[in-house]
Amino acid sequence: MKAGLLKAPNELLFQTVADPVLSTGDLLIRIKAATVCGTDIRIFRGRKTAGVRYPSILGHEFAGEVVENGGHSNFSCGDAVAVCPAIPCGYCDYCKRGYENICQNLTAIGYEIDGAFAEYIRIPARAVEVRNVFKIPANLSWEKAALVEPLSCVLNGQEKISVEVGDSVVILGSGPIGLLHVKLARHSGAAKIIVSEPSASRRDAAIAAGADIVVDPVNEDLNSIVRQHTKGLGADKLIVAIGVTKLANDALSLVRHRGKISLFAGFSSTDMATMDVNLIHYNELVVTGSFGLNRLQFEKSLDMIAAGQIEVDSMLTHRFELKDIGAALETAEKGSAVKVAVVNP
């Protein structure tokens, strides 16, 4: 089959590779659409190495059709499916406590398991058995189904800080993930959504996604604007949706006492942030990370997109065929696109 093969940092080539070798119970899926994640770019550039192999195939946001069902009677050839890429072990201490996204033995498609920037993908029997594979309705396009995965991660982040009706929410960064945070916060009933983003086009996209106020942090005073729109108190909730370490400390002064902050974005392993611990202590702030997703969040996100509760069509701005995988990654990296899809006709 053809695939985009990552041979080393900065070296990803479209070439012929061996077809997936199936074990008993494995599912074989023909990829119809896969979207590019910022993490794919970080892996490609060598800035993320955990769980990464060389050579390997990236891509963890995808949808496709079943080609071989591995003997599972609940799937038939031709079924349209989307797959939660994080496969928990089910027996470690974290899994037993219900924290499967931080499973001690987590395996993930696009990391330990070859991913979706290929014509076909093998879904391990274990993933099928524990219900990581979800059928998608006929009215849902392949590309929209691929966006279930990033929305699931966003849902995980917002559940960690309990974004709810009436909240004032500040979102730092308006890339694809920041836009999904805007859409989900709006859906959850946030009363005021303020987005900080230096790019004019991405500020426009944030307004279109449902933000109430956008701020250019280079030329405007974000802190004073947030205070102006939150009765001088600061935001109830804040989400750092871009991996700039300085923003972790900036966030502390943008929320009210007992406000909650999600360090949602991924940071490079060498990144370190200096934080004003007195603000955390005296203002009783909650600062949390957010990693990945679980199967329930995937199911909820699939339902929201399928029902049109979260609109994602407008995010799909660029499309490439698999043979142009290099150009797809470069386009996503430049930031001119919102979401880049790699499609197999």
DSSP states along 175-214: SHHHHHHHHHHHHTT-SEEEEE-S-HHHHHHHHHHT-SEE
DSSP states along 224-251: HHHHHTTTTS-EEEEEE-S--THHHHHH
Q: How close are the terminal C-alpha atoms of the chain, in Å?
A: 15
Same domain, 318 and 241: no
Same domain, 123 and 190: no
pLDDT at residue number 302:
98
pLDDT at residue number 269:
73
| CATH number of the domain where residue 21 is located | 3.90.180.10
pLDDT at residue number 271:
81
pLDDT at residue number 49:
85
Task: Domain count for the chain, please give it.
Answer: 2
pLDDT at residue number 234:
98
**Residue 223 neighbours by CB under 8 Å, 6+ apart:** 253, 254
Residue 236 covered by a domain:
yes
**Residue 11 neighbours by CB under 8 Å, 6+ apart:** none
Same domain, 120 and 160: no
| CATH number of the domain where residue 156 is located | 3.40.50.720
pLDDT at residue number 310:
98
Residue 301 covered by a domain:
no
pLDDT at residue number 50:
81
Q: Residue 23: is it exposed, middle or buried by C-beta count within 10 angstroms (0-12/13-18/19+)?
A: exposed
Residue 300 covered by a domain:
no
CA distances from 79 to 23, 68, 69 (A): 20, 10, 9
pLDDT at residue number 189:
98
Same domain, 204 and 89: no
Residue 297 covered by a domain:
no
pLDDT at residue number 33:
98
Q: Beta partners for 192?
A: 168
Give the angle 69-319-59 at the CA atoms, nearest 5°: 45
Same domain, 137 and 212: no
Dihedral class, residue 33 (left if φ above 0, else alpha if ψ from -120 to 50, else beta): beta
Same domain, 326 and 270: no
Range list of H helices, the chain:
38-44, 93-96, 125-129, 142-146, 148-161, 176-187, 200-209, 222-228, 246-252, 277-282, 295-306, 325-334
User: pLDDT of the chain along its 345 residues, tens only?
Assistant: 999 999 999 999 999 999 999 999 999 999 999 999 999 999 999 988 887 899 999 999 999 999 999 999 999 999 999 999 999 999 999 999 999 999 999 999 999 999 999 999 999 999 999 999 999 999 999 999 999 999 999 999 999 999 999 999 999 999 999 999 999 999 999 999 999 999 999 999 999 999 999 999 999 999 999 999 999 999 999 999 998 999 999 999 999 999 999 999 988 777 888 999 999 999 999 999 999 999 999 999 999 999 999 999 999 999 999 999 999 999 999 988 999 999 998
- Cβ(322)–Cβ(118) below 8 Å: yes
Residues in the chain: 345
Task: Provide the residue range defining the domain that includes 183.
Answer: 152-289
Same domain, 190 and 113: no
Same domain, 173 and 259: yes
Same domain, 189 and 250: yes
Same domain, 156 and 134: no
Neighbours of 148 (CB within 10 A): 30
